[in-house]
């Protein structure tokens, strides 16, 4: 194809993507997003209260601190409220507005970075189109409404992946350490580097986490850490068996409860089975990717190494799904693995290329369809059959993406 033809094709795609994005943005998502931004409260309330308690030298994890804050449980670890210290002086409505708009901006940056790093045609237009489609989903409006941290963590994952591709181990570790301070499940992504003895990654992640932990302990006190553990169990008892929980632990626990019936607390046999399967999945991932993560860069720092793409995406996906509680706002973490799987399939070579291309594209399209289902319809189904389907559709994207990424990684390793 000549240079003029390539330019014409790129220009046509950019125009089509922008027109499609504008058409999608004109949809019903606008009033929904505005309503979400006006909600004025969400899960950020406890972190905002935690930041205010830190300023006041109150241990918000103690019974007296909970009474001071007017809440019954502090569901996030002591490091999470540290991110809200710059905003402690704002009221909760102002904080929701600030973070809500930041989440929207982070999503756009997240998608454009992925498109640019994967070198898709017209990455800015492609990222903008993907941004418009995601903004149209119910789970993203819910994310903004609850002012959750899933998008900041997903963006940190993407930035860490970009640094890892360029063999910047310290930067990769710093970014993963920041994600760990927000939610503990991000620690699973550090595990393969520990096994592979990539000490710069592990050391940088540990340094960031320890820094946040020291900052939290400075005002909360050392007792906050063991006071948080019973609250963690209380939170899991309350939410793990909920129909909206898409985690492996939730799926297994609900086997002991009738669909649509009352929820129940954690059961020992369900917990043992869930952790056995989780450890088996983690062990399989570590064993199969150990050589990729342990492989020392053969190129100078800054040169892109795409061999780490699929293994890294496998661990980011598993880190969320194997967390005991997975709500709809966690779906944002799937956007990077979906894009990576699709681009990898389209760039395969060999006689079996067509079969892989059709299979992977169909699987990613199925995941996109499942994520597009209105999340509020999943728990308001008029029949038991529909309820079972909606609940299944809620968690199915996670194992599908793990299977697709694992298959692509196996195919690449076999070819290599």
Query: What pLDDT does 282 receive?
Result: 96
- Helix extents (H) in 91-223: 92-117, 123-135, 138-146, 150-165, 169-182, 191-195, 199-220
Does 54 score more than 60 pLDDT? yes
Name the 3-class secondary structure at 290: helix
| Mean pLDDT value of segment 30-57 | 78
Within 1-84, residue ranges assigned H as helices are 3-25, 29-37, 44-55, 63-69
Is the model's pLDDT at 293 over the cut of 70? yes
Sign of CA dihedral 294, 412, 311, 339: positive
- For residues 156 and 349, the model is more confident at 156
pLDDT digits (tens, 9 = 90+) for 132-185: 889 888 898 889 888 889 999 999 999 999 999 998 999 999 999 999 999 999
- Give whole-number Cα distances, 231 to 46, 78, 150, in Å: 13, 12, 21
Beta carbons within 8 Å of 93's beta carbon, 6+ residues apart: 40, 41
The pLDDT confidence band at residue 81, using thresholds 50, 70 and 90, is very high
320 backbone dihedrals φ, ψ, rounded to 5°:
-80, -50
Q: How confident is the model at residue 225 (pLDDT cuts 50, 70, 90)?
A: very high
- Distance between CA atoms of 218 and 167, rounded to whole angstroms? 35
- Give pLDDT, residue 257: 78
Is the pLDDT at 361 greater than 90? The verdict is yes
- The distance from CA 401 to its chain's CA centroid, rounded to whole angstroms, is 13
The closest alpha carbon to 401, from 372, 366, 374, 373, belongs to: 366
Chain centroid, CA 237 distance in Å:
22
pLDDT single digits (tens) 195-222:
999 999 999 999 999 999 999 999 899 9
227-264 pLDDT, tens digit per residue, is 898 888 887 777 888 888 999 999 999 888 766 666 66
Mean pLDDT of 29-41: 63
Kindly report, residue by residue over 272-283, the tens digit of the pLDDT: 999 999 999 999
Q: 368: how many CB neighbours lie within 10 A of its CB?
A: 16
406 has a pLDDT exceeding 70: yes
Whether the per-residue pLDDT at 18 is higher than 80: the answer is: no
What's the pTM value of the predicted model, to 2 decimals?
Answer: 0.92
302, 339, 314: which is closest to 115 by C-alpha? 339
- Round to whole Å and give the CA distance between 388 and 246: 13
HSE, side-chain direction, 13 A CA sphere, residue 98 = 13
d(CA 179, CA 187): 8
- Distance of alpha carbon 203 from alpha carbon 222, whole angstroms: 23
Name the more confident of 155 and 93.
155
Token pair for 52: 């205010």
CA angle 339, 137, 162 (to 5 degrees): 30
Taking residues 304-325, report their average pLDDT.
Answer: 93
Percent of the chain with pLDDT over 70: 86
Q: Is the dihedral of CA 211, 213, 219, 221 positive or negative?
A: negative
Q: Please, is 43 exposed, middle or buried when counting C-beta atoms within 10 Å of its C-beta (0-12, 13-18, 19+)?
A: middle
Query: For 319, how many CA atoms within 13 A lie in the half-sphere containing its CB?
Result: 26
| Residues 325-345, mean pLDDT to the nearest whole number | 95
- CA 113-331-127 angle, to 5 degrees, is 25
Q: Greater confidence, 251 or 303?
A: 251
* Per-residue model confidence (pLDDT) at position 395: 94
């Amino acid at each position: 194809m000549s240079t003029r033809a390539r330019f014409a094709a790129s220009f046509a795609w950019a125009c089509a993507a922008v027109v499609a994005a504008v058409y999608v943005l004109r949809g019903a998502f606008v009033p929904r997003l505005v309503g979400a931004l006006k909600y004025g409260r969400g899960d950020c309330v406890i972190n905002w209260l935690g930041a205010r308690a830190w300023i006041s030298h109150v241990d918000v994890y103690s019974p007296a601190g909970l009474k001071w804050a007017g809440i019954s449980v502090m569901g996030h670890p002591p490091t999470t409220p540290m991110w809200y210290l710059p905003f402690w002086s704002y009221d909760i409505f102002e904080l929701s507005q600030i973070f809500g708009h930041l989440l929207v901006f982070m999503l756009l940056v997240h998608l454009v970075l992925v498109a640019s790093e994967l070198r898709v045609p017209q990455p800015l237009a492609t990222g903008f189109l993907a941004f418009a489609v995601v903004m149209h989903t119910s789970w993203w409006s819910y994310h903004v409404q609850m002012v959750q941290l899933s998008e900041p963590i997903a963006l940190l994952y993407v930035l860490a992946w970009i640094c890892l591709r360029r063999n910047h181990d310290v930067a990769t570790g710093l970014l993963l350490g920041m994600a760990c301070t927000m939610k503990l499940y991000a620690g699973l992504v550090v595990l393969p580097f520990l096994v592979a003895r990539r000490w710069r990654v592990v050391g940088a992640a540990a340094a960031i986490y320890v820094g946040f932990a020291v900052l939290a302990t400075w005002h909360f006190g050392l007792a906050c850490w063991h006071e948080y553990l019973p609250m963690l169990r209380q939170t899991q008892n309350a939410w793990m068996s909920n129909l909206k929980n898409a985690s492996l632990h939730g799926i297994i626990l609900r086997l002991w409860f009738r669909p649509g019936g009352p929820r129940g607390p954690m059961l020992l046999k369900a917990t043992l089975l869930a952790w056995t399967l989780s450890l088996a999945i983690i062990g399989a991932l570590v064993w199969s990717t150990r050589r990729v993560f342990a492989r020392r860069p053969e190129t100078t720092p800054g040169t892109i190494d795409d061999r780490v793409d699929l293994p890294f995406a496998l661990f980011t996906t598993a880190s969320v799904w194997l967390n005991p509680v997975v709500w709809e706002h966690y779906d944002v973490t799937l956007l990077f693995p979906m894009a990576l799987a699709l681009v990898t399939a389209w760039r395969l070579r060999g006689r079996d290329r067509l079969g892989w291309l059709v299979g992977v594209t169909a699987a990613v399209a199925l995941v996109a369809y499942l994520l597009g289902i209105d999340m509020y319809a999943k728990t308001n189904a008029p029949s038991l059959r529909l309820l079972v389907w909606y609940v299944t559709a809620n968690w199915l994207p996670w194992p599908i993406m793990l299977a697709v990424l694992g298959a692509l990684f196996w195919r690449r390793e076999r070819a290599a």
